[in-house]
């Protein structure tokens, strides 16, 4: 963690100095104009708000119809990829300290000797080795909200949600998204619901509005969009309980298929005692809704007890419970434009999370995918508002995330169907049943998907072709930057290379040196640094504003193959030791070497061409945009010129 760049500050370094500019800090009432209005204080909305809070000059407000912060959330599964994202926001360690770590999964099916009982068939590792440096964990959604809220209130603008606000109307100016558009083309009317201001209406004009307001989204409805999909007509119950049981795997994630009583998914919770039970209930008739069943918590407990036979379950306390109907629904587009308008206009209203895709909770993807939606959108909005990114890039949000949501819907439909199916006996072929071995096989096959690491964006203006992919086979273009251990040259500290990237809207250019390259004149790294520092077409020359730090837009970091003690930091190119801030202090955290002491050589781990080296360009949301040869200066500049706006 770096701080003191612009002068010594005592105290907690995560608390930024307050922005004292006129009306930068919020009051109790909403302003008449904002840059971004976020509707919905759930995981998607808070991810976006926390990211935009990193930009003091962007005026952001987030509203929610609830009367205060969430105290107990429904979502609890946090994928490996999501922890990687949390690290960019600075609170991964807090999550890991509190959370339950999902290390193993056990599988249970009817005991062949007595099918009225269940028996363990196998126990497997939850995520494969090397998939991520972070684990799959379980933590109350409300705590995730708390961490995001801390990021927001510690940001320069001291951003806090405005609660007790219900959206009444969202109106988009007919000229929105065109060259003749008003500066704030979206008008949102809200009604206050708190006792002291009940019935009062507020009107906010915004440059952009993002609806993160759930499956009944008012923002989505204002766009005339619908969630379309199918229901499985299957009712499930879920409850967080404190219980006494002799079931041996109560502190492991466990999938249980009984012969005739239904199925249960067990998810241990944080704290050592709490456990979540997903309990299969009766199938619903065509057109029947789960609410009509009048299911009580006693029904859930009794069903769980029958399924767990011969083991006992004595529920002492229920912290939370609910019933739901399995269904998968998807919106056809995640912004306000349709048809030809998409080719001639820029979107101004977006939807994210449950507002545009819903699915069953058992695969643990809802909260994770929702947060990735707005992590994708946040840096794009910030770049456009700051005049650094071409507005056309905003089209890519719906294009990229709708395709990912479609993959999720397809996966979840198959996963939920297999989980709800009756287990076939050995040798039977019931078309409506499932072989528990096949379910386990599918679970293992989809491990990367559920870990959040399988996302891959297709070639586009933001994702280059795989022409030079062989230079770094482990850094797959379109997929997230898979971090690896390195040693920082300046102080010999072992770190993870990907952890150097924060949610600050900057691009990262990782330059991997060839085997004889020590940064000396004439080497590939030295020549690249010379180009970046001096060439007129360099990204630093084109996209940095006068007086900005060299790494304000593209943060360049070099990784050498030699042990750190064999390199001389004083001989490195000046670009890798940039002078920054008001005092011109030297940034010593740009040069890395393999972590040979632990045997984890990043060049081997990520299959980097040792003879030639390469450049790996990573966009602000940690996904790889391009892999290029070290001397592909023109290609690098041309690629970024399609995205970024020249400043000089």
Side-chain half-sphere CA neighbours of 263 within 13 A: 25
Check residue 463 and give its pLDDT. Answer: 98
Q: What is the pLDDT of residue 425?
A: 65
Dihedral sign computed on CA atoms, order 513, 514, 519, 522: negative
Q: What is the spatial distance between Cα 524 and Cα 526, in angstroms, rounded to a whole number?
A: 6
> pLDDT digits over 519-563, tens only?
999 999 999 999 999 999 999 999 999 999 999 999 999 999 999
Q: Are strands 433-434 and 422-423 parallel, antiparallel or unpaired?
A: parallel
Backbone Cα Rg of the chain: 26
Give the contacts of 97 (CB within 8 A, at least 6 positions apart).
none
C-alpha to C-alpha distance for 187 and 171, rounded to whole angstroms: 5
Tokens of 424: 């076939």
Which positions ≥6 away from 638 have C-beta within 8 Å?
A: none
pLDDT at 436: 72
Gap between the Cα atoms of 246 and 490, Å rounded: 54
- Give me 299's structure tokens: 């029904």
User: Closest Cα to residue 56, out of 90, 18, 29, 88?
Assistant: 18
> What does the pLDDT read at residue 233?
61
* Alpha carbon distance 406, 302 (integer Å): 36
- Residue 101 token pair: 């770590």
Query: d(Cα 292, Cα 268) in Å, to the nearest integer?
Result: 30
Q: Which of 349, 380, 355 is closest to 369 using CA atoms?
A: 355
Task: Please report the pLDDT score of residue 232 as a whole number.
Answer: 58
pLDDT at res. 414: 79
Predicted local distance difference test score (pLDDT) of residue 231: 66
Residues 625 and 638: beta-carbon distance below 8 Å: no
Residues of the chain with pLDDT under 50: 22, 284, 288
Whole-number Cα distances in Å, 57 to 47, 83, 203, 328, 415? 18, 28, 22, 39, 44
Burial 125-150 (b: 16+ CB within 10 A, else e): ebbeeebbbbbbbbbbbebbbbbbbb
- The string of pLDDT tens digits covering residues 340-366 is 888 899 999 999 999 999 887 666 677
* Percent of the chain surpassing pLDDT 90: 79
Q: pLDDT by residue (tens digit) across 395-454?
A: 999 999 999 999 888 887 777 777 767 777 655 556 667 777 777 777 777 888 888 999
DSSP string, 449-508: HHTT----PPSSSSS--STTGGGBTTS-TTSB----EEEETTT--EEEGGGG--SSS-EE
State the catalytic residues: 76, 269, 278, 361
**How many CA atoms lie less than 13 Å away from 26 in the CB half-sphere?**
25
Coil, strand or helix at 302: helix
Report strand pairing: 579-580 vs 585-586. Answer: antiparallel
């Amino acid at each position: 963690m770096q701080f003191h760049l612009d002068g010594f500050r005592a105290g907690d370094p995560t608390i930024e100095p307050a922005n004292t500019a006129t009306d930068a800090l919020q009051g109790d009432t909403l302003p008449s104009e904002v840059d971004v209005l976020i509707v919905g204080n759930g995981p998607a909305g808070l991810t976006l708000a926390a990211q935009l809070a990193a930009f003091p000059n962007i005026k952001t407000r987030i509203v929610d119809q609830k009367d205060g912060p969430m105290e107990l959330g429904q979502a609890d599964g946090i994928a490996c990829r999501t922890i990687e994202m949390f690290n960019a926001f600075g609170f991964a360690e807090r999550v890991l300290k509190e959370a339950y770590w999902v290390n193993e999964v056990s599988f249970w099916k009817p005991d062949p000797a007595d099918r009225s009982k269940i028996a363990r068939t196998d126990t497997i590792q939850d995520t494969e080795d090397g998939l991520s440096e972070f684990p799959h964990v379980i933590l109350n959604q409300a705590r995730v909200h708390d961490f995001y809220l801390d990021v927001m209130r510690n940001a320069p603008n001291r951003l806090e949600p405005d609660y007790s606000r219900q959206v009444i109307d969202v109106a988009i100016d007919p000229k929105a998204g065109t060259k003749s558009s008003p500066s704030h083309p979206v008008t949102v009317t809200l009604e206050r619901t708190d006792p002291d201001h009940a019935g009062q209406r507020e009107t906010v004009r915004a440059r952009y509005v993002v609806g993160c307001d759930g499956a009944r989204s008012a923002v989505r409805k204002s766009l005339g969009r619908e969630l379309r999909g199918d229901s499985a007509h299957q009712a499930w119950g879920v409850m967080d309980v404190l219980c006494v049981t002799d079931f041996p795997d109560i502190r492991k994630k466990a999938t249980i298929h009984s012969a005739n009583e239904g199925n249960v998914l067990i998810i241990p919770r944080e704290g050592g005692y709490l456990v979540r039970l997903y309990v299969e209930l009766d199938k619903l008739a065509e057109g029947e809704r789960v609410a009509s069943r009048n299911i009580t918590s006693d029904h859930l407990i009794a069903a769980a007890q029958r399924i767990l036979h011969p083991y006992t379950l004595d529920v002492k306390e229920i912290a939370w419970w609910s019933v739901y109907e399995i269904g998968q629904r998807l919106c056809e587009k995640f912004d306000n434009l349709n048809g030809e308008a998409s080719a001639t206009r820029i979107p101004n209203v977006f939807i994210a999370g449950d507002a545009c895709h819903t699915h069953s909770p058992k695969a643990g993807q809802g909260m994770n995918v929702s947060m990735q939606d707005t992590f994708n959108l946040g840096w794009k909005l910030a770049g456009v508002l700051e005049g650094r990114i071409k507005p056309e890039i905003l089209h890519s949000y719906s294009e990229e995330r709708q395709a990912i949501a479609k993959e999720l819907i397809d996966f979840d439909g198959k996963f939920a169907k297999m989980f709800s199916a009756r287990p076939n006996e050995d040798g039977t072929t019931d078309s409506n049943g499932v072989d528990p071995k096949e379910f386990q096989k599918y679970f293992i096959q989809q491990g990367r998907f559920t870990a959040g690491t399988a996302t891959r964006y297709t070639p586009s203006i933001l994702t280059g072709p795989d022409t030079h992919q062989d230079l770094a086979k482990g850094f797959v273009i379109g997929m997230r930057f898979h971090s690896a251990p390195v040693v920082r040259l300046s102080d010999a500290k072992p770190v993870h290379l990907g952890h150097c990237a924060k949610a600050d809207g900057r691009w990262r250019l990782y330059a991997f040196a060839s085997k004889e390259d020590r940064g000396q004149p004439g080497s590939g790294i030295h020549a690249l640094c010379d180009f970046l520092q001096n060439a007129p077409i360099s990204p630093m020359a084109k996209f940095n504003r006068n007086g900005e730090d060299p790494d304000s837009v593209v943060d360049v970091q070099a990784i050498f193959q030699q042990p750190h003690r064999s390199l001389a930091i004083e001989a490195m190119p000046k670009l890798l030791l940039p002078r920054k801030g008001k005092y011109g202090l030297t940034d010593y955290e740009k040069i890395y070497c393999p972590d040979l002491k632990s045997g984890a050589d990043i060049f081997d781990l990520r299959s980097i061409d040792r003879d030639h080296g390469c450049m790996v360009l990573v966009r602000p949301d940690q996904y790889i945009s391009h892999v290029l040869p070290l001397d592909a200066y023109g290609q690098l500049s041309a690629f970024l010129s399609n995205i970024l706006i020249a400043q000089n």
